[in-house]
Amino acid sequence: MAHNSSSRRRPNILITGTPGTGKTTTSSALAEATQLRHINIGELVKEKKLHDGWDDTLDCYIINEDLVCDELEDMMETGGNIVDHHGCDFFPERWFDRVVVLQTDNTVLYDRLSRRGYTGQKLTNNIECEIFQILLEEAKDSYPEDIVVALRSDSIEDISKNVEMMSNWISSWNPVV
């Protein structure tokens, strides 16, 4: 459990994984099922301009991690959040009670990313990230092992099963006293 979760009535969950693994779909469905707040970091960065410009090579914003953490601090302390982001190593460990790493078969992931318009280096980098389980290792290095869970996310059935399992976990969650 997170170090300071006793002040929260509802848990905070980080849903992470390579782009295309179903983070936003899963987070949205889980938020709807549990009434927790879904925070999509990519959208928050765009909306609040929490970035240091645009990376033309990777075709994305350069996230200012300090600004993101400052923006989220009060919300995270209250609890009841599902944070959706492809990285996890810059968030404070104390924020999360569960870290879920979504994983997808490389063939399925390749098709999903290609449909999104990913090409060249951006496509290759993301597929390699999944092959080498970079985000799972990042999560295990950044958070206590007992709160990190890897879940398969190849299909709608997987997503439904994951949402049900996480909903049950949320229902049985108790803050650390």
**Spatial distance between the Cα atoms of 44 and 67, rounded to a whole number of angstroms:** 11
pLDDT value at residue 177: 62
The mean predicted confidence, pLDDT, of the chain is: 95
Here the tokens at position 42 are: 């990519």
Residue 25, annotated as binding a ligand: yes
Distance of CA 166 to the CA centre of its chain: 13
pLDDT computed for residue 161 by the predictor: 98
What 3-state DSSP class applies to 7?
A: helix
Return the domain boundaries, the chain.
Answer: 12-158
117 is in an annotated binding site: no
Work out the angle at residue 81's Cα, subtended by the Cα atoms of residues 167 and 100, and round it to the nearest 5 degrees: 60
- The annotation status of 17 as a binding-site residue, yes or no, is no
- pLDDT at residue 1, as a whole number: 40
Q: What is the pLDDT at residue 59? A: 84
Q: pLDDT under 70 in the chain at which residues? A: 1-6, 177
Dist. CA 92–CA 142, nearest whole Å: 9
Is the domain 12-158 a CATH 3.40.50.300 member? yes
pLDDT at 57: 84
Q: What is the pTM of this model?
A: 0.94
For the chain, the 3-state helix, strand and coil shares in percent, each to the nearest 5, are 50, 20, 30
- Sign of CA pseudo-dihedral 9, 100, 72, 49: negative
- Asked whether residue 53 is marked as a ligand-binding residue, the answer is no
Please give the pLDDT value at position 5. 55
Asked whether residue 57 is marked as a ligand-binding residue, the answer is no
22 is in an annotated binding site: yes
Model pLDDT, residue 168: 98
DSSP labels for 69-98?
A: HHHHHHHHHH--EEEE-S--TTS-GGG-SE
